[in-house]
Structure 1
């Protein structure tokens, strides 16, 4: 049985695509006879506060579904203050160095990036000719930060760029969630080994269902992080509610602003449901006519994992984010596309969606496409050849 360590900034009981992605990877490896251990911070996302059950601890180790989980101390913060965010990352890096010093580390290590500093810490302290380091890149930082407006091209940006290049240089294999990520890495290091590792979900596809849509508004749903990158607050303000009702699930930085908007403007046909567990969310989502996947700005390298998850649920999608995600919606006929950032076009696209296009056959077609093309275990078996 081969030992393998996963280092990640996000892991259950935290919610969201990032934690689910790393859990699926860990459990998938374990089911195929790897002895898997995980290093992650004490749970704190997205609240920026360590969860009650873990407060006051420097380290918490547990055995969960045959996985060994080491949760390490972090100065938790979700503040917009860049200094506080930096301190949070440095604190987790400090905990990693402490763990590396006092514990035996397996010969194969998968490191999640971003955050860049966490990946950098692992690359610096775990470099060894006898150890294989694998970098799992889900977003291209600092490029994504620049496109989101969170970073500017200055000295700090150049430092982050150097850290990014160092990480790519000293890893043995780069796993990228998009073709754009792999192209970027190979533009810098043409001989670097890469592998396209999409964020495919790992759950049994439910039976598709359908409610009558002919005599009511189109029920559109958004589920996920209510953060700046998703732009849900702006979306709420820009939508034309003549023929739609928007339902929202999730939590994040924009939650209070969205709730206040709903209170002040009851004429907006918006329903906020709060946050649900993943299984409960799946049961809720399949009741809606269509789901929307927005990004405030097109982010190079980003492919929302919601595409693959919703496809497996058989839900038609409206994609509003540009980039590679847009190409996937078109290629696999998963729904509709509106020009990224163009809310007039978004409303125009919505107005043209007919209830006849949202029928049971369409849902079955989407789900069958997902089962055929977005299969987690087939992808995992291909990855084994690289480990």
Structure 2
């Protein structure tokens, strides 16, 4: 069987779309599937081409048995709506042309932005092949949720296009149960929608002791470490976190907060921390996937937060599974499906999004109550076992074969 996979994020990028696609494709290759991925030159999230790559029209490599074709795209940092749209459209256009020359039995195109899905749909039409639309984000709904754009003519067009893609696809894969319900409410037959949630590669995420070299380097001896790891964007509500922890910098000097990653709001957050004279905060740039494991071993609690919005009730951040695989209790500022998972497995504590008293109360509980902390560690390992990425990839492959 041959699968052509379209995604604008892929390793060596380390964000959630890149990790999910790579880990699924790697498992499928082990099962004898020929997988070709068409993607961009690695540049996320800074909008700068990674060392060792050039933004050429076409280049080809192989990663763990996966044939990877990289095409030219307009590269920009994750800043400015219209620049990002140009980025998305340029990739979709180039991926379509490259895909015309790839032999395949089935096409799979993944969001969050659905211009990739447009390319997949067009390839399916011209190549007379079935195609699957993987929905990782309800786009353009999420654009409105973060305040990047108000509902206007562009948004209405994107919503029309979104529905046409749902109806035209041969099958839809979503990452949450709520996504399936929302798409069903758009008039799409629920029988053509499958849910394959995110997870973690348990063979890769191995908990060990805190790396001493990082403890010494960052001055974390005798510190209880909370960490947010991921994109610093408009959706993540990190300004709220900085305001809240400003209240406890004097009363809890043993608490330290790491913010690891990059994004459109990174510089604003660093400026805010400077203005507030936050002595309990350390900002670090994005690191490789291998080093992420080192930093996960370094921390005591994984902080996962999003802005308060009904749209985010539908999402499940993949970082909860990676933290769980490392046995790191989760302090979650998100409601909906994610809250049900964390509370169901007793893998951490949940606070009301953007509610300071709720955040600080649960912060103190998870940081000071040793017994419940150890219970949450045990809950994390149970959660990770049930969301083993290899099992999810195998189940998804079986569904693909049935098409």
Q: What is aligned with 2:390?
A: 377
Match of 1:221? Answer: 227
- Which digits, 9 at most, give the CA deviation of each residue in 1:220-261, with x for residues without a partner? 111111111112233212223233321221112222223333
What residue number does 2:320 align with?
307
SS in 1 for 2:257: strand
Point out the structure with the larger helix share: 2
Partner of 1:357: 371
Q: Is residue 170 from structure 1 mapped to residue 165 from structure 2 by the alignment?
A: no
What is the alpha-carbon distance in structure 2 between the residues aligned to residue 51 and residue 128 of structure 1? 33
Q: C-alpha displacement at 1:75, in angstroms?
A: 0.6
TM-score, length-normalised on structure 2? 0.88
Q: Which of the numbers 251, 261, 265 marks the counterpart of 1:254? A: 265
Partner of 2:123: 125
In the superposition, relative to structure 1, how do residues 359 and 209 fare at CA in structure 2: closer, same or farther (>3 Å)? Answer: farther
Q: Please report how far the alpha carbon of residue 359 of structure 1 lies from its aligned counterpart in structure 2 after TM superposition.
A: 4.8
2:206 is matched with 206
Tell me which residue corresponds to 1:41: 40
Q: Which residue of 2 aligns with 1:179?
A: 177
Correspondence list, 1:89-104, <5 A: 89-101=88-100, 103-104=101-102
Is 1:234 equivalent to 2:240 in the alignment? yes
Q: CA, structure 1 residues 35+265, in 2 after alignment: closer, same or farther (shift >3 Å)?
A: same
> In 2 relative to 1, CA 366–267 (structure 1 residues): closer, same or farther, beyond 3 Å?
closer
Deviations 1:186-228 (A, max 9, x none): 22212541211111121325246589xxx96642111111111
* Pairwise CA distance, 1:167: 1.1
Question: C-alpha displacement at 1:133, in angstroms?
Answer: 0.7
- For 1:281 and 1:80, the matched residues in 2 are separated by 24
Q: Who is 1:338 aligned against?
A: 351
Q: What's the counterpart of residue 218 of structure 2?
A: none
C-alpha distance 139-208 of structure 1, shift in aligned 2 (>3 A):
same
Corresponding residue for residue 281 of structure 2: 270
**Shift in CA distance, 175/63, structure 1 to aligned 2, threshold 3 Å:** same
> For residues 284-303 of structure 1, what are the structure 2 equivalents within 5 Å?
284-298=295-309, 299-303=312-316
CA distance 1:39–1:210, shift in 2 (3 Å):
closer
> What is the Cα-based RMSD across aligned positions, in Å?
2.3
- Is the contact between residue 9 and residue 115 of structure 1 (CA under 8 Å) also seen in structure 2? no
TM-score between the two structures when normalised by the length of structure 1: 0.91
CA distance in 2, matches of 1:361, 1:155: 50
- 1:132-158 deviation line (CA, Å, top 9, x unaligned): 211111111111112111232221111
Distance (Å, rounded) in 1 between the aligned partners of 2:25 and 2:73: 22
**Aligned pairs, number:** 381
Which whole-Å CA distance do the structure 2 matches of 1:208 and 1:365 have between them? 17
CA distance in 2, matches of 1:206, 1:56: 34
